[in-house]
Amino acid sequence: MPFEAEAFDAATMLHVGMNIADKDRLCAGVGRVLKPGSVFALYDVMRTGEGEIAFPVPWAETPVTSFVATPDDYKRALVAAGFEILSERDRGELALAFFARMRAIVAESGPPPLGLHILMGEKAGLKVANTIENLERGRLAPVEIVSRKSTG
């Protein structure tokens, strides 16, 4: 990252890590730019169970470009980069409720004029359906991990 060491008081990462293969380097980079005692919160789709992930998904057409990791992988990389894990929360049920609400809205009034479906292109419906399948089968879930950079 093109920032000075210890330049930031806090950092967050939202739906990015599944696009980055090297979680150790990612966490070390965040650790480098955060001041001691700073909080790093991440919210990412993570591998939460066994089984083949159904593709395509919103972030990857195939397994070749998907770098989903387990919460334990993230926590290991965070600890190695000098972070203390403060909390972890599986948000799979929240995601399923979100998709249920979105399906109801689309069924009632059609897709919104602007949204991620435009970015996902022609396969948007399939990508969302696969995401829901992966969530329902417990293969994937968004997970929230909050950590703090060591002060020593």
Is residue 48 situated within a structural domain?
yes
Q: How far apart are CA 149 and CA 7, in angstroms?
A: 13
Reported as a single tens digit per residue, the pLDDT across 112-134 is 888 777 777 889 889 999 999 99
Per the structure, the complete domain to which residue 74 belongs is given by: 8-149
Give the pTM: 0.92
Q: What is the number of domains present in the chain?
A: 1
pLDDT of residue 85: 98
Pairing of strands 8-14, 34-47: parallel
CATH code assigned at 107: 3.40.50.150
Q: How far apart are CA 43 and CA 92, in angstroms?
A: 12
